[in-house]
Amino acid sequence: MTETPKLNISKSVEMFQEAEALIPGGVLGARKPTDFIAGEYPIFLDKGEGCRLIDVDGNEFIDYLCGYGPIILGYREAEVDDAVLQQIKDKGFCFTLTQPFQNDLAKKIKELVPSAEKSVFLKTGSDATTAAIRIARAHTEKLKVMRCGYHGWHDWCIEMKGGIPKKFYEDVFEFRYNDLEGLEKLMAEHGDDTAAIIMTPFGHPNHQEMQTPEPGFLEGVRKIADQYGVVLVYDEIRTGFRLTMGGAQKLYGVTPDLTVLGKAIANGYPISVVTGKEDIMMAAAHKLFISSTFFPNSEGYVAALKTIEILERDKVIEAIWEKGEYMMEKIQALIDKHDVGAKLTGVAPMFYITFNKDETGSYKGKRLDFYTQLIRKGFFFTPYHHAYVSYRHTQKDLDLTIEAIDESFAYLKEKYE
């Protein structure tokens, strides 16, 4: 049994120890060492280019996290960065009033996204999901919300309830992806007072295997929303401009009332969108207030417009599907070959290798050992989040990754036999 040598991450560890004296927990959110494998993964990164990352200790990785999703093209994408830099140098980016890019991007989104008629622009996914719920409540003059999926860190939806009064989330109810019966039961009890059903149209629950919609599921949710006069919101923060240019709604052929977009739309620059049917979106003009000092900043708009231009011109989504399908076919063959209890779920642009639960709990050890071997070999996946394929992953990168997965499965086979 050949175990890959551990990485030298001494500088990362030293910087983290310094950070713990300066920042609560050292780092925040889903970037803590415990959200990866403590002691194995770098904590601080130095730079990236294409599909590769280099940490502060000089370790290089082929990256499949893509900044948790925004990097659809690659790191330091010259055309996008140059467009933003030119805007900053020639005209500036933060002003009191709105810049013309707002209209340009709204027109482009209306052209591409089936549900889009009018749009508002924000900065983060949590901004956008929260704005969508506020719009739905203002439009319907109802209170309750049915939710499926992760929708950000704001009070109404975050799973960790520290610091949040119960009254801020007591009218929000969770249902499971592909469980139409569960939603029907909730709506039978709360439907007359429900403002919105918000869901990810493709199932990517945190830390769990991914799910494609079962036949009739999305259509059934659409029918329920219509039956009760509820605003159906698709959270396409991860799937928008990645599964297709029009998102999962274009792929699966079911159109929501509102759509939330972000991440891949601007290749890493901060911008998010709520878009949808005009009559519902008009609540944002007359019934509520959405504003931030930084929402009109032009760098996100410029990056989004240039990113979309490249996605269309170079047929990026088609290329990512081709690469991802190649990866998934090869990975499934390795799963069949080694028979270590691994499972592959997802679709070509975003997939996940998990391990089947067993009575002994050995799947947890397999998971940690598998991803430990990969990070040591220089492949940046994580045990607790699905992978992404970017445009800048080359055929050589994919083949090197397949080879590393093969070796890591072989390691598990011998260790757990």
Burial class (CB in 10 A: 0-12, 13-18, 19+), 58: exposed
Q: What is the pLDDT of residues 205-226, one digit of tens each?
A: 888 899 999 999 999 999 999 9
Amino acid occupying residue 304: A
The answer on pLDDT for 359 being more than 90 is no
Residues 36-61 have pLDDT tens digits of: 999 999 999 999 999 999 999 999 99
Domain extents in the chain: 10-75+316-416, 78-313
Cα dist. 310→39, 77, 88 in Å?
38, 10, 20
What was the pLDDT predicted at 239?
A: 98
pLDDT mean over 61-72: 98
Residues 79-110 have pLDDT tens digits of: 999 999 999 999 999 999 999 999 999 999 99
- Kindly tell me if the per-residue pLDDT of 179 is higher than 70: yes
Closest CA to 12 of 47, 50, 54, 57: 57
- Spatial distance between the Cα atoms of 189 and 404, rounded to a whole number of angstroms: 51
Quote the CA–CA distance of 88 and 146 in Å, as a whole number: 41
24 has pLDDT over 70: yes
Indicate whether 33 pLDDT > 80: yes
- pTM of the entire structure? 0.96
Task: Give the dihedral sign, CA 286/290/292/296.
Answer: negative
Q: What CATH fold (topology level) applies to the domain 10-75+316-416?
A: Aspartate Aminotransferase, domain 1 (3.90.1150)
Q: How far apart are the first and last CA of the chain?
A: 11
Alpha-carbon gap, residue 166 to 303, rounded angstroms: 39
Q: What is the pLDDT of residue 334?
A: 98
Residue 1: the pLDDT is 66
Q: Provide the pLDDT for residue 369.
A: 97
Q: What is the pLDDT of residue 2?
A: 83
In this predicted structure, what is the pLDDT of residue 205? 87
d(CA 414, CA 410): 6
The secondary structure of 325-390, three-state, reads: HHHHHHHHHHHHHHCCCEEEEEECCEEEEEECCCCCCHHHHHHHHHHHHHHHHCEECECCECEECC
Q: Does residue 243 carry a pLDDT above 80? A: yes
Question: Which band of pLDDT confidence, cut at 50, 70 and 90, is reported for residue 337?
Answer: very high
CA gap 75, 52 in Å, rounded? 8
What is the rounded CA–CA span in Å between residue 174 and residue 119?
Answer: 27
Contact yes or no for 194/139 (Cβ under 8 A) = no
* Phi then psi dihedrals of residue 387, to 5 deg: -95, 160
Rounded average pLDDT over 182-201: 98
Model confidence at 130: pLDDT above 90 = yes
* Confidence class for position 31, pLDDT limits 50, 70, 90: very high
Tell me the mean pLDDT in the region 246-250.
98
> Reduced to 3 states, what is the DSSP secondary structure of residue 231?
strand
**How much is the pLDDT for 72?**
98
User: Is 305 buried (19+), middle (13-18) or exposed (0-12) by CB count in 10 A?
Assistant: middle
**Count of CB atoms situated within 10 Å of the CB of 32:** 14
In this structure, are residues 177 and 148 in contact, taking their beta carbons and an 8 Å threshold? yes
Is 78-313 a domain of CATH 3.40.640.10? yes
Instruction: Provide the residue type at 306 as one letter.
Output: K
> Is residue 280 over pLDDT 90?
yes
